[in-house]
Structure 1
Amino acid sequence: MKIVIVDDHPLVRKGLAAVISMQPNVQFAGEAQNQQEALVVIEETDPDLVLLDLKLADESGLDIIKVARGRGFRSKFILLTSSATREDFLKAEEASVDGYVLKEALPEELIYAIHLVNKGRKYYDPAILENKLREDAGNLTDDLTPKEKEVLVELGQGACNREIASRLFISEFTVKKHVSQILAKLRLADRTQAALYANAIGLAKYEPTNMMMR
């Protein structure tokens, strides 16, 4: 996996490059500090993924994404930012950003996001996702069956399929079916997002580290 880093702070670029270079099967392909440099590096290296600062001095990282995709570049983009405002998030959604990570995230969280996005999935920092889910919760859970709601609560508590099956007196196969239905009905990508959703609407207490270990 080839990765390009775009940030207007040299120290940030070096730090990210160091984290990336320690990972197997991941190549640091280049860096840039502004839109002009970024587009040149992306065109020359054809990276699989670009780690991109949302705010580059007087430029926006979102503009780079729009131009790059307008030129047909195939790279995926993860925004790195210290901002978690709803306005920034909505703009990122409009630009079809592949991932959104807060700069205070731990290195292992960033690596997790990189691998998830590289596999074609979306990744949102838990803090950002929790805010989004709280605002968008609405009445989506009304579409869930009573048993699916019970499974959602268990997911929110970090339970694995075996534990859920034991607690709810159903088979692991049935649990898997319920989880799939929950993700589809709530328009969520995976179990982690389901756990965050359950926490955001007050159904359960979520421990991100526990969920990531399962």
Structure 2
Amino acid sequence: MITLLVVDDHPIVRDGLSGMFARDPDFEVLGQAADGAEAVRLARALRPDVILMDLRMPGVDGVTAIGQLAKHGVESKVLVLTTYDTDSYVVPAIEAGATGYLLKDAPRDELLRAVRSAARGEAVLAPSVASRLMHQVRQPSAGPLSERELQVLTLVADGKNNREAAATLFISEATVKTHLLNIYAKLGVSDRAAAVAEAFHRGLLTPGR
């Protein structure tokens, strides 16, 4: 069972999300928070697997809360769920440590899959978010995958999760996550499986290497 904390300043949104997940036996909603400060307090006490985090909230906003969670060593995965997909929201949230970034108009099934992926430590991006990141890195000096990004992608193709890849390369999980987000943006994909498939298609990875 995947445990959740739902964070949003609108009670209707919190109740709607909580009710949706409560109807699925694979999930348990441990609590709700109306702002970032309450989210950090509850996350430290409840230690949910995944935190659904809104960004624009009164007081402590979502990006600040994500940074505070990391500072306090809370290992819960943060999946941003917001109506905003502009660079001014996307990049700071990911840099702060968000595992994924979805928009509130995402279909129910997509949201459920995203939470399951986030619980496994996999990065999840809404297509529009992936496109924005891809546009950011599409510069002459940043087009090809770097040697480190290829190393990370090779480990992903071998079935390694973020923690295992980090241990193999002697880097942090957060660094692996950052490399994956860069890989998604450069390849124009939004998840691990698509990244591996696209890498094989482009000849970046070779079967049976």
Superposition deviation, residue 133 in structure 1: 1.5
Question: Percent identity between the aligned chains?
Answer: 26
Give the whole-Å Cα distance in 2 for the aligned partners of 1:14 and 1:31.
9
Give the whole-Å Cα distance in 2 for the aligned partners of 1:129 and 1:10.
29
Contact 1:4 1:28 (C-alpha < 8 Å) held by counterparts: yes
Identify unmatched segments of 5+ residues in structure 2: 146-153, 159-179, 185-190, 203-209
CA deviation profile, 1:2-56 (whole Å, cap 9, x unmatched): 1000100000001111111122221110001013322221122111110010111
CA deviation profile, 1:144-164 (whole Å, cap 9, x unmatched): xxxxxxxxxxxxxxxxxxxxx
Find the counterpart in structure 1 of residue 93 from structure 2.
Answer: 92
Find the counterpart in structure 2 of residue 170 from structure 1.
Answer: none
Superposition deviation, residue 88 in structure 1: 1.3
Find the counterpart in structure 1 of residue 6 from structure 2.
Answer: 5
Find the counterpart in structure 2 of residue 78 from structure 1.
Answer: 79
CA deviation profile, 1:137-183 (whole Å, cap 9, x unmatched): 3456667xxxxxxxxxxxxxxxxxxxxxxxxxxxxxxxxx9x959xx
Aligned-residue Cα RMSD (Å) equals 3.0
Find the counterpart in structure 2 of residue 187 from structure 1.
Answer: 183
TM-score using structure 1 length: 0.66
CA deviation profile, 1:63-105 (whole Å, cap 9, x unmatched): 1111122111111101111111112111112102101011111
Aligned partner letter, 2:183: R
Q: Give SS of 1:93's match.
A: helix
Contact 2:157 2:196 (C-alpha < 8 Å) held by counterparts: no
Identify unmatched segments of 5+ residues in structure 1: 144-176, 198-202, 204-214
State which drifts further: 7-16 or 62-71: 62-71
Aligned partner letter, 2:192: D
Q: 1:13 to 1:96 in 2, by over 3 A?
A: same
State which drifts further: 37-46 or 101-110: 37-46
Contact 1:5 1:17 (C-alpha < 8 Å) held by counterparts: yes
Give the whole-Å Cα distance in 2 for the aligned partners of 1:142 and 1:12.
41
Give the whole-Å Cα distance in 1 for the aligned partners of 2:134 and 2:21.
30
Find the counterpart in structure 1 of residue 52 from structure 2.
Answer: 51
Give the whole-Å Cα distance in 1 for the aligned partners of 2:83 and 2:93.
14
1:123 correspondence with 2:119:
no
- Pairing of 1:99-178 with structure 2 (within 5 A): 99-138=100-139
Find the counterpart in structure 2 of residue 40 from structure 1.
Answer: 41
TM-score using structure 2 length: 0.67
Q: 1:31 to 1:191 in 2, by over 3 A?
A: same
Give the whole-Å Cα distance in 1 for the aligned partners of 2:144 and 2:63.
35
Q: Which runs of 4+ in 1 moved over 4 A?
A: 139-143, 193-197
